[in-house]
């Protein structure tokens, strides 16, 4: 796959996402209920973990039971914010790249986590194929997605205040590079990629501005924690978590391999002068390591 063949990617480079969307923005409720769901589904310890779309590392403290943690994002600037906080911790590896061209060897990760980023996937099936390749057999993929079949969308559709049906299986792009997904479609596409979708949790039931202002956050979090268990019967919340088993037929990465060329998937040798150089004679692309950040967004000459 050439770079021009890849779907468009939402780029948060240089954005103030952390301060504009999270810090001091009244989203403690969302942060807490997402952490509850993550803890319920994610194995607390393991060897290698990757967060796909880690951004500034909001959830990084949930991964301290792992030996190696890759914070992967398309935005170098957001990863630098994560690095500023966690940079001295040798567990963390900061990698910038395109999730349609993952720069890792096959069968590497015990656990994969993706929260609040699938809604930017213009081609979720292609992303699932990439993740299936780098997943270690018998591992887990904890996926969160924006649910098009949520109660608000159903009411808006019933009142003819939106054109698209929340019951139709295909994804809906409600704003450029922002997608909502039907739970049935997500399970179907995961299965096509040889994942095995399992338990679902419904999350952020009370993501309503006036309610959050009136009801204490702790009470809302407690109510949401109880309601999450309804996820296996119905999904009407704006956010859904799913516990996904890795493909059983995959391979485990060879010892002492980690990065691979995102263009040809050749395992990359140890860096030379802060560069990773592809040994494939037909490729020979080079990738920069800059102040501890592995940059696979674009090759260097």
pLDDT for res 212: 93
Specify the DSSP class assigned to residue 246.
Answer: P
Q: Which residue has 């890792």 as its token pair? A: 104
Closest by CA to 275, choosing from 284, 286, 283, 262, is 286
pLDDT for res 2: 38
Per-residue model confidence as pLDDT tens for the chain (301 residues): 334 478 999 999 999 999 999 988 989 999 999 999 999 999 999 999 999 999 999 999 999 999 999 999 999 999 999 999 998 899 999 999 999 999 999 999 999 999 999 999 999 999 999 999 999 999 999 999 999 999 999 999 999 999 999 999 999 999 999 999 999 999 999 999 999 999 999 999 999 999 999 999 999 999 999 999 999 999 999 999 999 999 998 889 999 999 999 999 999 999 999 999 999 999 999 999 999 999 999 999 7
pLDDT for res 221: 98
3-300 falls under which CATH superfamily?
Vaccinia Virus protein VP39 (3.40.50.150)
Output b/e per residue, 260-299; b: 16+ Cβ within 10 A. bbbbebbbbeeeeeeebbbeeeeeebbbbeeeebbbbbeb
Q: List C-alpha distances in Å: 183 to 5, 180, 207.
A: 28, 10, 19
Global confidence as pTM = 0.96
pLDDT for res 3: 44
Q: List C-alpha distances in Å: 301 to 97, 153, 274, 276.
A: 17, 48, 13, 12
pLDDT for res 223: 97
Which strands sit side by side in the sheet containing 286-290, from one edge to the other?
A: 196-203, 239-245, 135-146, 109-114, 46-52, 66-73, 92-96, 293-300, 286-290, 275-277
Q: List C-alpha distances in Å: 278 to 100, 220, 251, 256, 286.
A: 18, 51, 22, 16, 6
Q: Which helix (H) or strand (E) holds 157?
A: helix 151-158
Specify the DSSP class assigned to residue 253.
Answer: P
- The string of DSSP codes covering 58-119 is TTGGGGTTEEEEEEEES-HHHHHHHHHHHTT-TTEEEEE--TTS--B-TT-EEEEEE-S-GG
**13's torsion region: left (phi>0), alpha (psi -120 to 50) or beta?**
beta
Closest by CA to 78, choosing from 10, 18, 34, is 18
Asked whether 132 and 196 are in contact (CB, 8 A), the reply is no
Cα–Cα dist 253/266, whole Å:
12
Domain residue ranges of the chain, discontinuous segments joined by +: 3-300
């Amino acid at each position: 796959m050439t770079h021009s063949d890849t779907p468009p990617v939402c780029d948060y480079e240089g954005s103030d996402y952390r301060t504009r969307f999270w810090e001091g923005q009244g989203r403690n409720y969302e942060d807490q209920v997402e952490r509850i769901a993550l803890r319920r589904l994610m194995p607390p310890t393991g060897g290698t973990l990757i967060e796909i779309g880690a951004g500034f590392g909001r959830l990084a403290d949930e991964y301290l039971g792992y030996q190696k943690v890759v914070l992967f994002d398309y935005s170098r600037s957001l990863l630098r914010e994560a690095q500023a906080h966690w940079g001295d911790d040798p567990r963390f590896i900061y990698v910038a790249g395109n999730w349609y061209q993952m720069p890792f060897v096959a069968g590497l990760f015990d656990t994969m986590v993706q929260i609040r980023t699938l809604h930017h996937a213009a081609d979720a099936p292609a992303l699932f194929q990439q993740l299936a390749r780098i997943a270690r057999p018998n591992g887990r993929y904890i996926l969160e997605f924006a649910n098009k079949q949520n109660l608000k969308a159903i009411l808006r559709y019933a009142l003819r205040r939106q054109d698209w049906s929340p019951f139709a299986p295909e994804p809906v792009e409600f704003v450029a590079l922002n997608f909502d997904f039907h739970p049935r479609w997500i399970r179907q596409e995961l299965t096509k990629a040889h994942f095995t979708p399992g338990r679902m949790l419904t999350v952020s039931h009370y993501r309503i501005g006036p309610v959050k202002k009136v009801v204490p956050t702790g009470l809302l979090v407690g109510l949401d924690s109880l309601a999450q268990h309804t996820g296996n019967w119905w999904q009407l919340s704006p956010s859904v978590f799913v516990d996904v088993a890795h493909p059983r037929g995959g391979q485990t990465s060879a010892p002492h391999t980690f990065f691979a060329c995102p263009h040809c998937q050749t395992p990359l040798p140890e860096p030379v002068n802060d560069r990773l150089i592809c040994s494939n004679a037909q490729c020979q692309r080079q990738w920069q390591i800059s102040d501890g950040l592995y940059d696979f967004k674009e090759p260097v000459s």
